[in-house]
Amino acid sequence: MQRLLSTLVLLFLLGGSLWAQLQVRGTVTDAADGSGLPGATIKVAGTNTGTVSGADGSFSISVSDGAARLMVSYTGYKSQEIVVNGRTNIDIVLESGNVLEDVVIVGYGTQTKKELTGSVSKITGDAINRLQVANIDAAIAGQAPGVQVVSNSGTPGGAVSVRVRGPSSISASNQPLYVIDGIPINTGSYAQLGTGNQTTNALAGINMSDIASIEVLKDAAAASIYGARASNGVVLITTKRGQAGKTKVSFNASYGNQKAWRQLEPLTGTEYTALVNEARRNRGQGILFPDSNNVANTNWQNEVFRTAPMYNADLSFSGGTERTRFMVSANYFDQEGTLIGSKFNRFTTRFNLDNYINDKLKLTLSSSLSQSKSTRINNDNNIYGVLSTAVLLGSHIPTYNADGTYGRDPNSSVENPIAAAIEPTFDNPENRVLVNAGLEWTIIKGLSFRTNFGADNLTYREHRFYPNTTNAGAGVRGQGFETYARDFNLINENVLNWKYSMDNFKIDLLGGVSFQNSQFESIFTQGEGFPGNTIRTLNAASVKKDIQSNRSEWGINSQFLRANFGIFDDRYVISAIVRRDGSSRFGADKRYGVFPGVSAAWNLIDESFMKGIGFLSNAKIKVGWGVRGNANIGDFASRGLITAGANYNQIAGLAPTQLGNPGLSWEERSDLTAGIDLGFVNNRINLSVEWYQATTENLLLNRPFSVPPASPA
C-alpha cells in the first residue's frame, strides 16, 4: 500500500512537471484580411513571461499552468484575454480597435475616449511627422479645433502665438502650458535683443520626430488638474517609447524648399525718379534727377528673397524585452529663411527607457539633449531691417556702386537691404537638457504609486555685431552686444492612483503633490568703438556700456485630486477635479488658490433605444464647468522692489522700482462647456460640436510707478 501511494505521488508530481512545461504555439492575425500581425505582444497573465509574434504573426510561449490566461495586444487593435485550457496550438484573431477605445493622455494619466468628459484634441505622431516645420507649436496649426496658431514672423525657428479658445489676460501670458512626458517645461523667448517682432522660441529645440502624440486640454473640465497654470489651456506632449521585440532601425530623410508666394510690385527706377521730379515741379521746386532715364532699376525684393532649402534627417533605434525596453534617436534639422541672412539648424538626441525591476516596480527614464542655432536679421518697421528696407529704399539705387561699396540713397538714412542682411553678425546658440526619471510601484492590484523627478536646463546666448560698413555701426565705429540667459527648472511629482471596478460600476481615484522650483539668470553687455571689423568680441571695444546682470527665482507647490466614476459600463461618466496651488509670485495674503472642475458625459450610443440606428456608431453628450488660474505675471510682482545703480549728483545709490502688494491675487478663468460627439459609418466620419462660455475675473494690469526714482537724501 505504501509503495502504491509513493507511485501515485510520483506520477502526480511528474504530471505536474509535464503540465508546467506546456508549450503553446500559434499565430496572431488580422480579422479583416487574415494577414499575420508581427510584433504583437503575448503575455502570461500574472507573470513576467511574455513574447512577441514573428514576421508572419507566429509565436511560441511556455506556460506553467494549463489554466493560464494569455493577454494578447497589438497597437490599433482590441486586446484579448484567452484561457489556454491545456491547448498547445492557439490561433488568435484580433479586430481593429474602435475609435472610442483610443487612449487619450490627460493630466497625470490616460483615459479612453469613451471615458473622456472634458474637451481634448489629440494629434497623432504620424500627423505631426508629415509636416515640414521646425516647431512643435507650429505643428498644432489646423489640427486642433478651437486652437489658433499664428506665426509671429517668417524667421526660421521663430516664435509662434498659440491661443486655446482665445486670449484670457491683459498683462500676463496668453500662451498655454506645455508638458513633456509629464514635466512642465520652460517656454517663451529668452532673447534680450530686439529684431522687430521676431521673438525666439524655446520649443524649437525639440525634435518633432520623437513625438508619439500631442493632446490639447482646452476646457477647465480637462485642464484644471494643472490649476494656476492652466488658464490658457495645456499642451501635453508624449514622446515615443520602445516596444518589446527585435530592435527596429528607422531612418527618415527629407528635403524641401520654401519661397515667398507673393511680392509687392514696385516702381522701376525710371518710374520712381520721374514721379519724384513731377512732385517737385508741382511744388515749384527744381527736379532732383536730371536724367531719370539713366538710373538703376533695382527690384530689392528680388535681391533679398530666395528659394530656401530645408533638410531633415532622423535616425532611431527601438526594441527590448518584456522587462527592458528602449528608444534612442538622433536628428538633424537645417532650414534657411526665405530672406537672405536668416537660418536655423538643430541637432537633438533622445534616450527613453522602461525597465521592470520586478513584478511591482517599474523604472522610466526620458532624456533629451538639443543644440540649436538661429541666425536672425532685423525686420519689421525698421530702417535697418531687410524686408522693410527692400520696400523703403528706392529702386533707382544700385545694389553696389562702381567702387564695390553698397549703394545708398544720399537723401535718406535707410539701409541697403543686402548690407542689412549679410553684414551684421547675429548668432543665437541655445543648449537644452531635459531629464525625467520616474519610479512606479504597484502596491496591490488596483493601487499604484508613482514618483517623478524632472529637470529642464536651458541656456541661450546672443552675439550681435554691426560693422562700420552698416549705417547702424558707422556712427559709433562698430557696435557689439553679448547676452546670456539660463533657466533651470526642477520638479518633483508624487501620485497615488486607485482603480476599482465591479459589474456596473468603476472608480478611478488619483491624488498627488507637486513641487517645482525655477532659477533664472541673465547678463547683458554692449560695446562700441572697435578698431576694425575683424575682431567682433567685446574685448576689442574701446567703450563698454550697458553692463547688466539679473537673477530671479520662483517656486510653486501643489496638491491635487481627481475622481472618475463610470456607471453601467461607462454609459454614464462623472469626473471631479480640485487642485490647490501655492505660488511665490503672489502676495502673502493671497499665496494659495483653489481650482475646482466637474464634468459628466452620457454615452448615448449604448442605450437600448439607439440600437436600431445602424448608420450612427457613436453618440455622446457632455457638459463641464471649472476654474483655472494664470500665474505668469513675473517672479516678484507682489514685492516692494528697489534697484541698484541709480545715482543722484553722480553718487551711486538705490531707488524704488515697485510698490509691494500683499493682496496681489490670481487671475481666474471660469468655463462652462457643453457638447455632443457623433460618429458615422463605423466612426469613419466624426462630428464634434461644442458650446462654451469663458469668463476671466480679477484681471491684472500694471500701473505706472509715480514715485521719482531719485531724490536728495
The pLDDT tens digits for 253-287 are 989 888 888 899 999 999 999 999 999 999 999 88
C-alpha cell at 354: 522602461
Q: Which helix (H) or strand (E) holds 235?
A: strand 234-239
Catalogue all structural domains in the chain, each as residue range(s) with its CATH number: 16-97 (2.60.40.1120), 100-239 (2.170.130.10)
Q: Where are the alpha helices (DSSP H) in 98-251?
A: 125-129, 136-139, 220-223
The answer to whether residues 629 and 669 touch, using CB atoms and an 8 Å cutoff, is yes
Percent of the chain with pLDDT over 90: 46
Residue closest to 227 by CA, chosen among 489, 434, 493: 493
Task: Please name the amino acid found at residue 608.
Answer: S
Q: Strands 343-356 and 361-375: what pairing?
A: antiparallel
Instruction: List pLDDT tens digits, range 55-85.
Output: 788 898 888 777 778 888 876 677 788 888 8
CA distance 381 to 153: 13
How do residues 234-247 score in pLDDT, each as one tens digit? 999 999 999 888 89
Q: For residue 484, what is its C-alpha cell?
A: 546670456
**pLDDT (mean) for 481-502:** 94
Q: How far apart are CA 195 and CA 299, in angstroms?
A: 24
Rg of the chain over CA atoms, in angstroms?
A: 32
Which band of pLDDT confidence, cut at 50, 70 and 90, is reported for residue 202?
confident
Going by C-alpha positions, the residue among 583, 484, 579, 582 that lies closest to residue 538 is: 484
- Distance in angstroms (rounded) separating the CA atoms of residues 134 and 208: 8
Summarize the confidence of residues 385-411 as an average pLDDT.
91
Q: Higher pLDDT residue, 133 or 213?
A: 213
Provide mean pLDDT across the span 622-648: 82
Cα dihedral 603, 609, 611, 612 in deg (nearest 10):
-140
Q: State how far the Cα of 650 lies from the Cα of 357, in Å rounded to an integer.
A: 67
Q: How many CB atoms lie within 10 A of CB 466?
A: 27
- In the chain, the largest separation of any two C-alpha atoms, in whole Å, equals 138
- Write down the pTM of the prediction: 0.82
The DSSP element (H or E) to which 5 belongs, if any, is helix 2-20
Q: Across 29-38, 320-329, 652-661, which has the greatest mean pLDDT?
A: 320-329
- pLDDT tens track for 564-614: 999 988 899 999 999 999 999 888 888 899 999 999 999 998 888 887 787
From the list 414, 430, 427, 422, the residue with the least C-alpha distance to 480 is 427
